[in-house]
Amino acid sequence: MAGSAQSFQEFERAGWEDPATVSGYDENLSGVTIQSIGALLDAAAVGDGTQVLDVATGAGYVADAAARRGAHPVGIDFAAAQVGMARQRYPALRFEQADAQALPFEPGTFDAVVNAFGMCHLPDPDLALREALRVLKPGGRVAFTVWDVPERAVGFGALYAAVRAHGTLDVGLPAGPNFFLFSDPDACAKALLGAGFVSPSCRQVPQSWRMATPDQLFQMVAAGTVRASATLRAQSPQAREAIRAALRDTVAAYVSGDAFDVPMPALLATAVRP
């Protein structure tokens, strides 16, 4: 359990500096998040010659996809462990440790700023959007993906429903933005307009979380997340087993051949710097 004096930013950064968590996320969740990379880059009009900033780059998949389109990406992440993994995986690309809320770039540097599933890990996402606006050229585009609402992003929705039903969400974690804040298209548009962007739009991108067994959802969340895994660790042993059983039942309903495909759609938001 996180100490009460620890800030949300400190909590998140410490979690993503843990090599086991970084590896667990890459192994268990990247297979889902990569499914919307093409749509993310399309929304930001990333193509040949585009100068693109990939915020919350993680293992570098978005930056690599941009480079394969002929773009010139720079990937940043607040965690050195993530930057190290990206550099090891894509040594020809540029990755730097940096804060999305205080970008180390001059105004008007980039044609596009993209962020794949990083918004919910920022203590001040509105500030991050203002920073994205600052470093974009006029006419440049911002685009980000987040998880859709919990009713549709079934993996995470079922997790938090099971915790509410069988345990508690009040486990002393540092207060941070609502994990599903930007799952609401109206909240996305309001934040983008408030940061100074124009022409905001949002749409759903289908994705699924493929699992070999119904038990894997609990295991994957425990191994590859920060906030959710800390919530699970803070439950009593009896509550954890009840949560595990509830998740097992949820996944079992999504049988697909010899595996299970749990719906995990993304919400994709985009806007233009005037």
pLDDT at 1: 33
pLDDT tens for each residue of 127-155? 999 999 999 999 999 999 999 999 999 99
- Please state the rounded mean pLDDT for residues 88-96: 98
**Full DSSP string of 129-191:** HHHHHHHEEEEEEEEEEEE--TTTSHHHHHHHHHHHHHS-S-S-PPP-S-TTGGGSHHHHHHH
- Please state the rounded mean pLDDT for residues 209-229: 97
pLDDT tens for each residue of 151-172? 999 999 999 999 999 999 999 9
Q: What confidence category does residue 222 fall into, taking pLDDT thresholds of 50, 70 and 90?
A: very high
Q: What confidence category does residue 113 fall into, taking pLDDT thresholds of 50, 70 and 90?
A: very high
pLDDT at 215: 96
pLDDT tens for each residue of 14-37? 999 999 999 999 999 999 999 999
Q: What confidence category does residue 3 fall into, taking pLDDT thresholds of 50, 70 and 90?
A: very low
- Residues of the chain with pLDDT > 90, as a percent, come to 97
Res. 5: pLDDT tops 50: no
Helix, strand, coil share of the chain (percent; to 5): 45, 25, 30
Domains of the chain with CATH codes: 8-149+177-209+265-272 (3.40.50.150)
- The answer to whether the CB of 30 falls within 8 A of the CB of 58 is yes
DSSP letter (8 states) at residue 235: S
What does the alpha-carbon distance between residue 142 and residue 127 come to, in Å, rounded to a whole number?
14
**0.75 surpassed by pTM:** yes
Q: What confidence category does residue 110 fall into, taking pLDDT thresholds of 50, 70 and 90?
A: very high
Structure tokens at 37: 């990379």
Residue 250: CB atoms within 10 A of its CB come to 20
